[in-house]
Structure 1
Amino acid sequence: MIWTYFIIFLLAAIPFFEVLLIVPVAIIGGIPAIPVIIIAFLGNLLTIILLIVFVDSVRNWRKKKKGNKEKSESKNKRAKNIWDKYGLPGLAFIGPFFVGSHLTALLAISFGGTRTKTLVLMTFSIAIWAILLGSAAYLGFDSLVKDEEGFGFITRLLDLNK
């Protein structure tokens, strides 16, 4: 089981997999929800911390990188629109859903957010997304799994076994 959690940690740390994808997939796959949420959160947060600490190096690397320019510009526009409308808190909480947490953190600092505020808000954002998606995956999947009484809470709700 340790290898499973290690893989969850690593996948959550990879941009575009992150908490948004890994948490629901792992929970639906049958791995216990609370450890998945915590481990995925820590994996995603670790790379966000590293990104914020080394933001200048990452920014220079992105400038040199070629390819997927239109896609990046499209994502940057969405993030900039969120920034203009809601500021740093809005970008930190909405951005991970639209452009991913790593790019959100990088763009938040690029748009003028301080490293400390960005880190604090991104930490809360990742935690909230992990808990919400983990809860949704757990509760949604649990309601579909057949148990000894029928199909979970749906059977109890409709009293189909009477």
Structure 2
Amino acid sequence: MSLEPLFVDVGATLENAGGFLQYVLVFVFAAIPLLEILVVIPVGIGLGLDPMATGALAFAGNVASVYVLIYFHRRISNWRRDRRSADETDSSDRFERARGLWERYGLPGIAIGGPILTGVHIAALVALLAGSSERTVAGWMTVGIGLWAALLVAGSVLGVSLLGVA
């Protein structure tokens, strides 16, 4: 699957929005799986948006969507636990794959590599399914998203200055 159409659609939408709405869209697009900060930050900065505002809003949108995922995971887990019979087990293929990822990389590895490897939403879900506490997952995911947001802002600013774009 090529990400090129995502870059074009995000770029065109941001460019056509103008003004304050561009920054609102940065926040919203960063919260959407597949777009996230990896697409939104370089596109926004490439279009000439303020790098610090773009990075901060993209970070906030991405983190907010992960926190929403964590909140709903808790509610769904409680609902499933209340309805599950005592002899049911959760041994699906997906759970086993998630457990394997968890055992191989641990929470810090998944949180920091998540934006590149799987996307932050899947990385958070893997960590939650592997049994990590919600607070720990939220903390590590925030660190990982913050690290990538800072690197993407710096790389995008450098790229724009070297290419003379915007």
Aligned length: 136
Matches of 2:43 and 2:101, distance apart in 1 = 28
Give the root-mean-square deviation of aligned CA atoms: 2.7
Q: Which residue of 1 aligns with 2:156?
A: 137
Matches within 5 A, 1:117-136: 117-136=136-155
Contact kept, 8 Å, 2:63 with 2:142, in 1: the verdict is: yes
TM-score of the superposed pair, with normalisation by structure 1: 0.74
SS at match of 2:45: helix
Q: Which residue of 2 aligns with 1:22?
A: 40
Compared CA separation, residues 38 and 76, structure 1 to 2 (3 A): farther
- Dislocated runs of 4+, deviation >3 Å: 56-60, 75-82
Q: Which residue of 1 aligns with 2:56?
A: 38
Matches of 1:78 and 1:93, distance apart in 2 = 19
SS at match of 1:54: helix
Matches within 5 A, 1:87-98: 87-98=106-117
Deviations 1:117-162 (A, max 9, x none): 100000011011111011101101111117xxxxxxxxxxxxxxxx
Matches within 5 A, 1:29-108: 29-57=47-75, 80-108=99-127
Compared CA separation, residues 5 and 33, structure 1 to 2 (3 A): same
Q: Which residue of 2 aligns with 1:158?
A: none
Deviations 1:91-134 (A, max 9, x none): 11112211111111111100121101100000011011111011
Q: Which residue of 2 aligns with 1:63?
A: none
Contact kept, 8 Å, 2:95 with 2:129, in 1: the verdict is: no
Percentage of identical aligned residues: 35
Matches of 2:108 and 2:153, distance apart in 1 = 22
Matches of 1:80 and 1:30, distance apart in 2 = 42
Tell which structure's C-alpha radius of gyration is larger.
Answer: 1
Q: Which ranges of structure 2 fall in alignment gaps of 5 or more residues? A: 1-18, 80-93
Compared CA separation, residues 28 and 77, structure 1 to 2 (3 A): farther
Compared CA separation, residues 144 and 114, structure 1 to 2 (3 A): same
Q: Which ranges of structure 1 fall in alignment gaps of 5 or more residues? A: 61-74, 147-162
Matches of 1:40 and 1:115, distance apart in 2 = 22
